[in-house]
Amino acid sequence: MNKVTRYVLLAAVGLSINFTASAQSTLNEGSISTQFDYLNEISNNYQEFKVVKKTHLEQLKKNVTDSLRTYAEEQKVLAEKIKRQEAEIKSLQEDQETLQAELSEAIANRENLTLLGIQTSKTVYNSILWTIIAALAGAFAFSFIQFSRSHKIIKQARKDLADTMEEFEQHRKNTLDRERKLKRELVDALQGKK
């Protein structure tokens, strides 16, 4: 019996070691929820209570603490990432607002011109420009017509002046000839009386 007892004891110890090793490996693997479920399964019952081995409880506490620490670190990393992304979003929104303002200004500058320091639209500018061009063309046409009339008048006046000067010259020659004739006649008459 001694031998049988030894075998039974050895088998019980082997199973206990194997059971403990599998309990440790299950407590080291899986989620916290699965570890609690497993701990509940392997715990002994005492009346309406569960009796949990202290080593299993400490292992579970260590696992929970590690998980909480990991979650806290992940939370910090995610919070920093969120802050960076919020800052980036804010920066992008500011850039967008700046670009929108520049776009509006560019559109306004494309649609408007500065004329004598006053912002005017292109249609008003074109109207003013064509009005000025038409006024200058009218003034040029008027000046050209006046110049042509004046030129004709001056040409006619010069011709009349030339004709008058020719007549005057002719009249002067005739008058000089007549005076000479009269002087000769007077001189002849005076010489004849003597």
* Digit-coded pLDDT (tens) for 107-150: 877 777 777 777 778 888 888 889 999 999 999 999 999 999 99
User: Is pLDDT at 99 greater than 90 in this prediction?
Assistant: yes
User: HEC states along 144-159?
Assistant: HHHHHHHHHHHHHHHH
Contact 20, 8 (CB under 8 A): no
Q: Quick one: pLDDT band at residue 4, thresholds 50, 70, 90?
A: low
pLDDT at 23: 45
pLDDT at 18: 43
Encode pLDDT of 80-96 as tens digits.
999 999 999 999 999 99
Token pair listed for 52 = 């949990």
| 3-state SS assignment for residue 68 | helix
Helices (H), the chain: 2-27, 32-42, 54-111, 122-193
What rounded mean pLDDT belongs to the chain? 82
pTM tops 0.85: no
| Calculated CA dihedral for residues 66, 68, 74, 80, nearest 10 degrees | -130
Q: What is the mean predicted confidence (pLDDT) over 28-46?
A: 79
